[in-house]
């Protein structure tokens, strides 16, 4: 019986290898084209994962990864240090809130924008608006942050508007309560046009006869959007939301580092900036920073798995 099972497993394996070999021969040029992409992911994404083990060690550049000793508590000392440290709840709260506000306001913005653009009849006006809204995406983040600093300064444009309506001038970036609003609003301005491209593509795939039938039945624009447009792009929206949930704790550090200061740490300090400061801003706690980054990645993975499972059960649309 056992020999029969082993024989069956070997037969299945040989059959699979034979099909794979035949497929490679039949589509050899496609596989050759895919080789650079495969090599890129192996070299820059999979091989560097070997360095993850420094999160469980007292890493020393002089001793190297293998020569560095393991940490206490079975290698989990760095994780325990972060989870019980004084900044854990602050950086976790700030990361979640900024991501939550970005999803709440930033995620629907390109969808609404794409739907509005889809209703424009003038091709010239439509292309002009698209070009203008795409442009901020290609501006360097350093330039964008310089503009934000200039606009939110005491003598900046935003304070000019506030003063015009009788308000008091204030350096908005020095006020912790305004940082998240500035971060999310500037992100919407920078990416709304670029992020709408995929939704515009999805809108172009909707059968136009549905709109004609709805007009004959007396449906207005709002009813057409609710009952035809949104259901038509719902699978795309769900997929994009799943992908966005997979990076809920990955708030980019570049923009925050260029905008925050010690006065706003209470609302602006996130996991990525915390890792940056502990790695490169004088402290150089590489093992500790690697542990925080690994924990961050694990939580992101759990979020994307959970969101995908919920989506598959509720809407039958999922990544896998």
**pLDDT (tens digit per residue) in 32-61:** 998 999 999 999 988 888 888 888 888 888
Q: Which domains does the chain have, with CATH numbers?
A: 2-56 (no CATH), 87-315 (1.10.3720.10)
Least reliable range by pLDDT among 138-147, 176-185, 268-277? 268-277
Asked if 75 and 56 touch (Cβ cutoff 8 Å), the reply is yes
CA distances from 35 to 28, 42, 81 (A): 11, 10, 42
pLDDT reported for residue 199: 93
Q: What is the DSSP letter of 51?
A: G
* Whole-number average pLDDT of the chain: 85
Cα–Cα distance measured from residue 288 to residue 146, given in angstroms and rounded to the nearest whole number = 32
Name beta bridge partners: 70. Answer: 57
**pLDDT tens-place string over residues 174-197:** 888 899 999 999 999 999 999 999
Instruction: Give residue 263's pLDDT band: very low, low, confident or very high (50, 70, 90).
Output: confident
Average pLDDT rounded to a whole number, residues 142-155: 89
* Residue-wise pLDDT tens digits, 210-224: 888 888 888 888 888
pLDDT of residue 268: 87
**pLDDT band at residue 281, thresholds of 50, 70 and 90?**
low
CA pair distance 239, 319, nearest whole angstrom: 7
pLDDT of the residue at 189 = 92
- Rounded to an integer, the average pLDDT of 159-170 is 87
What is the tens place of the pLDDT at every residue in 56-115? 888 888 888 888 888 887 778 888 888 888 888 988 898 889 989 999 999 999 999 999
Under the banding of pLDDT at 50, 70 and 90, the label for residue 4 is low
Least confident of 15-19, 31-35, 223-227: 15-19
Within 10 A of 69 (CB to CB), how many other CB atoms are there?
A: 10
Is pLDDT larger for residue 317 or for residue 39?
A: 39
Residue 39 is predicted with a pLDDT of 93
């Amino acid at each position: 019986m056992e020999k029969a099972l082993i024989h069956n497993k070997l037969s299945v394996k040989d059959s699979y290898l034979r099909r794979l070999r035949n497929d490679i021969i039949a589509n050899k040029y496609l596989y050759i084209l895919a080789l650079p992409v495969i090599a890129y992911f192996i070299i820059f994404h999979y091989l560097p994962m070997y360095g993850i083990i420094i999160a469980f060690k007292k890493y020393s550049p002089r001793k190297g990864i293998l020569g560095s000793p393991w940490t206490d508590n079975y290698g989990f000392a760095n994780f325990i240090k972060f989870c019980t440290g004084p900044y854990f709840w602050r950086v976790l709260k700030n990361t979640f809130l900024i991501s939550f506000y970005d999803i709440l306001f930033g995620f629907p913005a390109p969808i609404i924008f794409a739907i509005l653009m889809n209703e424009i009849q003038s091709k010239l006006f439509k292309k002009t608006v698209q070009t203008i809204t795409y442009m901020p995406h290609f501006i360097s983040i350093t330039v964008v942050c310089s503009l934000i600093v200039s606009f939110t300064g005491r003598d900046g444009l935003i304070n000019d508007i506030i003063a015009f309506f009788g308000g008091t001038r204030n350096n908005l970036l020095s006020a912790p309560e305004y940082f998240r609003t500035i971060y999310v609003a500037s992100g919407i301005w920078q990416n709304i046009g670029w992020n709408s491209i995929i939704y515009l593509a999805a809108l172009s795939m909707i059968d136009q006869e549905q709109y004609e039938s709805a007009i004959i039945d007396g449906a207005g624009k709002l009813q057409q959007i609710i009952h035809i447009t949104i259901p038509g792009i719902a699978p795309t929206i769900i997929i994009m939301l799943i992908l966005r949930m997979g990076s809920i704790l990955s708030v980019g550090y570049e923009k925050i580092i260029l905008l925050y200061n010690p006065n706003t740490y209470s609302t602006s300090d996130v996991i990525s900036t915390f890792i940056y400061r502990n790695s490169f801003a004088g402290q150089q706690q590489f093992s500790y920073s690697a542990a925080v980054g690994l924990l961050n990645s694990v939580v992101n993975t759990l979020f994307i798995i959970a969101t995908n499972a919920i989506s598959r059960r509720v809407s039958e649309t999922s990544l896998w």
